[in-house]
Amino acid sequence: MMSKIKSFDELKSVQERLKAGRDPKKPCITVCVGTGCLAYGTQKLVDNFREELAKRNLADKIDFRTTGCHGFCERGPMVVISPEKVFYQRVGLADAGEIIDKTVLTGEIIDRLLYVDPATGVKVVHEDDVPFYKKQTRLVFGLNSKVDPESLDDYLAIGGYSALGKALTGMKPEAIIQEVIKANLRGRGGGGFPAGWKWDATRKAAGDPKYIICNADEGDPGAYMDRSLLEGNPHLVLEGMIIGAFAIGSSQGYIYARNEYPLAIKNITRAIKQAREAGLLGENILGSGFSFDLKINRGGGAFVCGESSALFASLEGRAGEPRAKYIHATDKGLYDKPTNLNNVETWANVPFIIERGADWYASIGTAGSKGTKIFSLVGKINNTGLVEVPMGTKLREIVFDIGGGIPGGKKFKAIQTGGPSGGCIPEKYLDMGVDFDELTKIGSMMGSGGMIVMDEDNCMVDVAKYFTNFLVSESCGKCVPCREGVRRMRDILLDITEGRGREGDVELLEKMATAIIDGSLCALGSSAPNPVLSTIRYFRDEYEAHIKGKRCPAGVCKALITYSIDPEKCTGCTLCAKVCPTKAATGVKKEVHTIDPAKCTRCGACRESCKFDSIIVR
C-alpha cells in the first residue's frame, strides 16, 4: 500500500523513483488480458507464463505484465516481448515455455506465432510494423499496453497523475476550462458537445453541490472502447475526472457503469481505492486543499440510461426514463443540481490536454473535431478490434488499411457508424474524413464510435430492421412517438422483408421518421429513425426490390429467396445432402443434386459447405 503523497513535488519524486527502478532494457513479457483475449482462455496462458518463469528461476530477470486490451482483438491471445517489441498473436495456451526459452532468452523468433500481413503475405516481427497498428495514432488507447490496470505504480511510472499535479498546483480552475475549450475537446459519448463549454456552464451555474459524472453505460451493439479504457487504464479516466472536478468546483462524482462490465467495475473500484490511499482522491488531494471523491453506480441493463436525464433518474434510484431538457443538466441535473456528464473516453482525453497543452492537442484532427477517436471496428472486417485514429481519417483507411478489408474477397457495401441509431454509409463516401460534422452531414453520426462493416451479403432492409428492432426493445416507453412509432416502423420493415411490403411503404416510413424525429422526448427516439432513413437514402433500390419485385437482392430475407443447385457446377459430391438439416438437398453420388423448396428452410448450410459454388440463391 502506498502512503499518501502530499504534494506535486513528492509525486514527481515517487514517479522518478518508480521510473529509476525499471530498466528499459530488461526483457518484459506483456500479455493482453482484455475481455476479448480472456475469452480466448488467456488466463491459462498467464498462469503458464508465471509457472514457467518460476520454474526457471527467472522471475527477477524477466518482467511479466498483464495489461488491458491492445485493440487487435481479432488476433488474440497476444504477447508482446520488450524491449524489441516482438509481437506474437494467436498464441497457444501452452506456448509460454517455448516463448521464454527461445525468444526471451536467446532472441530466436518463433515463426508460427508471427502475424502475416494478408495483403502482402509478409510475416511481421515487431508490433509497430503490424499494419493494423502502424496507421493508428494510439494517443489515449496506446497506454493500455504499457500498464497493468491493477497497478498504480505502473501508471505513475509512465508519468501518470502529472497532469493532475500540474492542474492542482499551477493552474486556476478557469484556466483549466479555457485550456479544454481551446483544445476543442468534444464529447465522445455521441453528442459531440464541446466539453469545455459544458464545464464552464456547470462551474458558473448556481447551486450546491455540483456533480460530475462519468458515463460508462456504453450500450451500442458492437462498441466496447469505453469498457476497454476502464478495464485497461482506469487511472487515466480517474485523473481526467479529478482534474474536471477541480475545474468545475465539484466535490462529488459518480461513475455510472453497465452492470454487464464486471471487469471494468472491478478495475475502476480497485483504482479508486489505490488513488484514495495515495492521496490522489479524497480529502486534500496532493496537499492542495482540494477534496473530491467518487462513487460507482451500476446500471440495470437499460440502453436508454446512457441518455443523460435517464441516467440521472437511474442514479437517483428511479426508473431510467428521460425528461425534457429545456433546462440544461449543467443547471439542473442529478438531484436538480448543476451536473457535468462526460463519457469515459472524453474524461480520458483530459490529462493529455492539461499535460501537453491545448495547442498541441488542437493540432491533431480537423477544423471542427480535434484529437483522436477510438472506434470499435466490427462486422465483415478482417481485423476486428479497437482502432484509434486522428479525427478526419478517411473511412477507407480505417476499413482497408487498418481493418485489412473484407474477409473472403467479398465486396464492401456499407459501414454503419454511430451505434444502433446511427446510419449506414455507402461506398461513395469511403474517402470522407471521419469527424463529428462530416458524419452528421451524410445522415449518420459519430455516436460513441461503433463501426460495423457490411458486405455484399448484407441486406440493407434487414440491417435497418435489426437496428430498429433493437431500439424498439430499448425504448423506455415514456413518449408516444418513440414507443409506438418505432415499433410500427419495425412492423412495416418486417412486412417488407417477409414479402408483405406495399407500394407507398417507403414514403410512409419517411413521413413517420420525420414526425418521430420532431416529436420524441429524448435522443433515443429522435435518432431511432436514422437506420431506416439512411438505408432508404442510399439503398432505396433494395427496398423497391423487396416491395415491388418481392425479392431480396442480397439473398438474406428468407421469405423472398429460394435455394437451388446449378447443374453446370454441381459435381454430385453429396456434401450438401449431408449437411442439410431438413433433407431438402438430395441426390445420387456423382450426379447433379436438387433442393426441394418445400422442405428447404433457407438456413444456408449447403451454400457454406459447397466447394464448387453451385448453390444459387435468388
CB of 487 to another protein, least distance (A): 5
For residue 606, give the C-alpha cell: 449447403
Nearer to another protein, 259 or 514 (CB): 514
CB of 216 to another protein, least distance (A): 21
Return the closest-CA partner of residue 240 out of 201, 287, 284, 187: 187
- Does 589 interact with another protein (rule: CB under 8 A)? no
Give whole-number Cα distances, 172 to 26, 159, 166, 194, 418, in Å.
41, 22, 10, 20, 36
Q: What beta strand segments (E) does 439-582 contain?
A: 450-455, 563-565
- Does 481 interact with another protein (rule: CB under 8 A)? yes
Return the closest-CA partner of residue 36 out of 65, 66, 77: 77
- Does 260 interact with another protein (rule: CB under 8 A)? no
- Does 515 interact with another protein (rule: CB under 8 A)? yes
* φ, ψ of residue 282 in degrees (nearest 5): 105, -145
* φ, ψ of residue 402 in degrees (nearest 5): -85, -45
Nearer to another protein, 141 or 303 (CB): 303
Nearer to another protein, 60 or 518 (CB): 518
Q: Which of 223, 492, 565, 615 binds another protein (CB under 8 A)?
A: 492
Residues binding another protein: number (CB under 8 A): 36
d(Cα 95, Cα 36) in Å, to the nearest integer?
19
Nearer to another protein, 437 or 505 (CB): 505
- Does 3 interact with another protein (rule: CB under 8 A)? no
CB of 524 to another protein, least distance (A): 11
- Does 65 interact with another protein (rule: CB under 8 A)? no
Cβ-Cβ contacts under 8 Å for 90 (sequence gap 6 or more):
75, 76, 77, 113
Nearer to another protein, 69 or 489 (CB): 489
On whether the CB atoms of residues 310 and 322 are closer than 8 A, the answer is yes
Return the closest-CA partner of residue 437 out of 194, 275, 172, 271: 194
Q: Which of residues 178-207 bind another protein (CB under 8 A)?
A: none
Pick the piece of the chain touching another protein (CB under 8 A) from 14-22, 116-124, 277-285, 511-519.
Answer: 511-519
Half-sphere exposure of 19 (CA within 13 A, CB side): 11
Q: Which of 187, 192, 426, 485 binds another protein (CB under 8 A)?
A: 485
- Does 259 interact with another protein (rule: CB under 8 A)? no
d(Cα 422, Cα 468) in Å, to the nearest integer?
11
Site string for another protein, 322-361 (x = CB under 8 A): -xx-x-----------------------------------
- Does 170 interact with another protein (rule: CB under 8 A)? no
On whether the CB atoms of residues 458 and 380 are closer than 8 A, the answer is yes
DSSP character for 508? H
Nearer to another protein, 159 or 207 (CB): 207
Pick the piece of the chain touching another protein (CB under 8 A) from 268-276, 376-384, 426-434, 482-490.
Answer: 482-490
On whether the CB atoms of residues 370 and 184 are closer than 8 A, the answer is yes
On whether the CB atoms of residues 356 and 512 are closer than 8 A, the answer is no
Binding site for another protein (CB under 8 A): 302, 304, 319, 323-324, 326, 472-481, 483-485, 487-488, 491-492, 502, 504-505, 508, 511-512, 514-516, 518-521
